[in-house]
Amino acid sequence: MSERALARISDDAVERNCAHLRSLLGARTELCAVVKADGYGHGAAECARAALRGGATRLAVATAREAAELRSAGIGKPILVMGAVDDASVDADVTVWDIDFLRAIAPQRPRVHVKLDTGMGRLGARDVGEAHAIVDEAAADERVELVAVMTHFATADEVGDDHFPAQLARFTEFAAAVRERHPEMEAHAANSAATIRDPAAHFDMVRCGVAIYGLDPFQDDPGAHGLEPALELSSYVARVERFQAGESAGYGRRWRASEPRMVATLPIGYGDGWRRALTNNCDVLIGGARHPLAGTVSMDNVTVDLGAETHVSVGDEAVLIGRQGEERILCEEVARRLGTINYEVTCGLSARVRREHA
């Protein structure tokens, strides 16, 4: 009998994905593995170690707490905190886009990356002149170690759009101007999609997140980009019962048998991150075959239509994301059913789902 909710994570797949991404880069371009949000739901420390084995030389997170957790796990490689921080006391590089904040943290002797907002519309100096001023003040302050300039792309995953090349051109011009005054300055901009899409975005480092976990940044098929999904999600069959025509399963009776059917109950639900919006709206794999969810996803259980007859038994493994026999359900398929992106599916798996690394 399988566990009620288990995510199996292949650290070897993370390592191989990083090795593949590293193969796309020039010899002087570093791979930074983004392990924020607990490694996109995969486990930050374990995936960080796997990424480093695969060729990553740096790590990135969103918060100071995430950086501290990696340090507590014994990881000593350079870490960049990409999000907002209250101070710079964390043992990591910090992102700066405000000159007043730079002055406030200077006594803490920070390592800083100055961020230009080239069109993402979130964090970053929106005015190029302001970004230059921050760079120059950081370079002049002996208490500050100026590491890099950076930006972030809004539409790198939308192939054929015109915003990505406009952002890239704006950042390229900015980075070149900075390097005229500070030749040693590093520059980085590319996320997973930009890394795959355009070598011109690689600069001195790329910051890959979703791709290192074998998720497709373009929301289609990771295999098309040489990526291998690292996570499989499974449960097991806790009950099998025959339903007569007209009988229903789940809250609100949103599924009713039109004829006699066999129905399985799996002990996994939205309390584990298997979203209620998947009600009557996804398949699971049992016995190497696809079976549709039947009825409302509840907090702790889902019900599955096994057909008029079945060989499925109590205790059989059920795969919600992953491969069983010749069938496979990608995270990208689940995301499409939900009208969202693959990142949200894995990040949404709750702490109640045990992670098993291998």
So which residues are the catalytic ones? 36, 251
Assigned token pair, 69: 């957790």
**Are 30 and 57 within 8 A, CB to CB?**
yes
CA distance 154 to 12: 30
DSSP secondary structure of 216-276:
-TTSS-GGGGT----EEEEEE--EEEEE-TT-B-SGGG--B-SS-EEEEEES--GGGT--G
* Three-state DSSP state, 93: strand
The phi, psi pair for 61, rounded to 5°, reads -135, 180
Q: Report the DSSP beta bridge partners of residue 356.
A: 8
For residue 347, give the nearest of 130, 40, 127 by alpha carbon: 40
CA distance 257 to 271: 26
- Residues found in the chain: 358
Residue 101 neighbours by CB distance under 10 Å: 19
Helices (H) and strands (E) in the chain, counts: 10, 18
Assigned token pair, 258: 């039109």
Enumerate residues 6+ apart whose C-beta is below 8 A from 351.
Answer: none
The phi, psi pair for 20, rounded to 5°, reads -65, -45
Assigned token pair, 288: 């190497």
Assigned token pair, 85: 């921080």
CA distance 74 to 17: 23
Q: Cα dihedral sign for 250, 254, 259, 264?
A: negative
**Are 81 and 54 within 8 A, CB to CB?**
no
